[in-house]
Amino acid sequence: MTRVLMTGFAPFGGETVNPSWQAVSALGARRDDVAAVELPCEFAASLPALRRAIAEHRPSLVVCVGQAGGRAEVTPERVAINLVDARIPDNAGAQPIDVPVVEDGPAAYFTSLPVKACVEAIRAAGVPASVSHTAGTYVCNQVFYGLMHLLATDFPGVRGGFVHVPFSPEQVAASGRAAPSLGVDRIADALEALADTASKLTEDIVVSAGVEH
């Protein structure tokens, strides 16, 4: 059985909930083979917490999940860049600008998840999904890049990647914002489809997921 570690983030930016953690914890409650861990939304603390979680759970597969407000779909990420450029402070008040995630690290890492196959599986589960080619430059990208660097250097043989999820309906209702949202149970369904697909496939399918811009 593939042991899957899934992480979500604590709320940030004035929010009271984070759908990434809500969905990850819901999936962890469903599945004995999924370990759910909440990461702090803090530049200094997120990667040490991730390292501890990998060392503790010894997974075969790691999927980190984050909130991408404004997106309408579940979006597995394809590439992480070695850059932090924070638009807002993190939960500890830090706001690093134009610094690398890993000093002298590679410019970027590609996911080792079959993201195109995962998108098809998520859509088959009835949840909107697409491949994303940017994880931003905030804590989500830092964790994605840091994860891939950890797997390349300290945890050989473990595969991993990152996926962004939309706001939850309760976030949209509480703020009065006009933004796309997706129910937490549906996000958990998407993450389950992703985890099952990534556990079975090491090579991605050959279909187009490119963009024109």
For residue 213, pLDDT over 70 is answered with: no
Please give the structure tokens belonging to residue 89.
Answer: 């402070």
Question: How far apart, in whole angstroms, are the C-alpha atoms of residue 58 and residue 42?
Answer: 23
Q: What are phi and psi of 107, to 5 degrees?
A: -60, -30
Q: Which of 50, 48, 37, 47 is nearest to 10 (CA)?
A: 37
Residue spans of the domains in the chain: they are 4-200
Quick: pLDDT tens for 138-148: 999 999 999 99
User: Which pLDDT score, from 0 to 100, does residue 2 have?
Assistant: 66
Q: How far is CA 105 from CA 123, 147, 206, in A?
A: 35, 13, 29
For range 74-80, the mean pLDDT: 98
Average pLDDT over residues 155-169: 97
Is the Cβ–Cβ distance between 199 and 60 less than 8 Å?
yes
Question: pLDDT category, 176, cuts 50, 70, 90?
Answer: confident
Provide mean pLDDT across the span 89-103.
98
Active site members = 77, 140, 164
Give strand pairing partners of 36: 6
Mean pLDDT computed over 13-31: 96
CA 186-30-131 angle, 5° bins: 40
Per-residue pLDDT, 208: 80
What kind of fold does domain 4-200 have according to CATH? Answer: Aminopeptidase (3.40.630)
Give the position of tokens 């759910």: 36
Confidence of residue 175 (pLDDT cuts 50, 70, 90): confident
The pLDDT, as a whole number, for residue 211 is 65
What is the structure's pLDDT at 177? 83
